[in-house]
Amino acid sequence: MPVSTYLVVALGAGVAGFVQGLSGFAFGLVALSFWAWVIDPKLAAILSVAGGLAGQIVAAVSVRRGVDLKSLAPFVLGGLAGIPLGVLLLPSLDADRFKALLGLLLMVWCPVMLFARDLPRVTAGGRIADAAVGLAGGVMGALGGFTGVLPTLWCTLRRYERDVQRTIVQNFNLAMLAVTMITYLASGIITPPVLPMLAVVLLAMLIPTLLGTRAYGGISEVAFRRLVLSLLTLSGLTLLASALPRLL
């Protein structure tokens, strides 16, 4: 690959690492806004999962939060069921249609939540709904490392406090990305030619992730909610922009 490709991949990993350290999610979505133009989607999926997993490990050490197993368990159990389904879908998935539909959803719904302060808190569904969201997160994780998107949106709809949301999303992402990476390794998706690019991603995102986790401690509850919804909206725009040229 050209040197310029490695530079773009490194830049995307660095920016995505900082955002993940700050918000607890979105490594894959932010990195994709750089990588979608220079590398193959399947390679981007592998790098996204690896970078997201490394970032979650750093965050778990740097931003320590207690684990409420009662709240976390439905998400994780649903996610574990979703990962094998996502791995099965990966070879035959129309990735551009998937990204376009998800992007439209995020671009419409997140700004509504951002500007309409009096939207009612979602309380229906209980643990079954949480498990369904976890299942969807597991599928999306296997398809490209997007584990945190729907759980983050769901926790925001539930109006969880900043630290509660961070705890659920961070631990969910860590579990799902770890299992997804193990599945990738077991299925032979990660081949020797991928390793140099993988090393670039891991080296480039380490320090920005640490900086992001430090910045997290200085933002308020309201600012955190605005940050999350703004990132989700931007993620939707990125997904749609990367998919439309191929669809059209």
Of the listed ranges 52-66, 154-168, 176-190, 197-211, the least confidently predicted one is 52-66
Structure tokens at 40: 């193959």
Domain boundaries, the chain: 3-247
Decide if 103 contacts 234 (C-beta within 8 A): no
Q: Is the pLDDT of residue 67 over 70?
A: no
Report CA-CA distances (Å) from 229 to 37, 105, 119: 25, 12, 14
**pLDDT, tens digit, 9 for 90 and up, residues 152-180:** 889 888 888 888 888 888 889 889 889 88
* Confidence band for 202, pLDDT divided at 50, 70 and 90: very high
* Confidence band for 65, pLDDT divided at 50, 70 and 90: low
Of the listed ranges 13-17, 45-49, 80-84, 219-223, the least confidently predicted one is 219-223
Q: Is the pLDDT of residue 44 over 70?
A: yes
Structure tokens at 76: 């994780």
Largest CA distance in the chain: 52
- Round to whole Å and give the CA distance between 169 and 166: 5
What mean pLDDT comes out for the span 19-43?
A: 81
Q: What is the DSSP string of the chain?
A: --HHHHHHHHHHHHHHHHHHHHHS--HHHHHHHHHTTTS-HHHHHHHHHHHHHHHHHHHHHHS-----HHHHHHHHHHHHHHHHHHHHHGGG--HHHHHHHHHHHHHHHHHHHHH-TTPPPP-TTHHHHHHHHHHHHHHHHHHHS-TTHHHHHHHHHTT--HHHHHHHHHHHHHHHHHHHHHHHHHHT-S-GGGHHHHHHHHHHHHHHHHHHHHHHTT--HHHHHHHHHHHHHHHHHHHHHHHHHHH-
pLDDT of residue 150: 86
pLDDT of residue 116: 65
Q: What is the mean pLDDT of the chain?
A: 84
Highest mean pLDDT among 40-44, 204-208, 239-243: 204-208
Report yes or no on whether pTM surpasses 0.95: no
CB atoms within 10 A of CB 66: 7
**pLDDT, tens digit, 9 for 90 and up, residues 100-158:** 877 887 888 788 777 766 667 888 888 999 999 999 988 887 776 678 888 888 988 88
Q: Is the pLDDT of residue 237 over 80?
A: yes
Q: Is the pLDDT of residue 29 over 80?
A: no
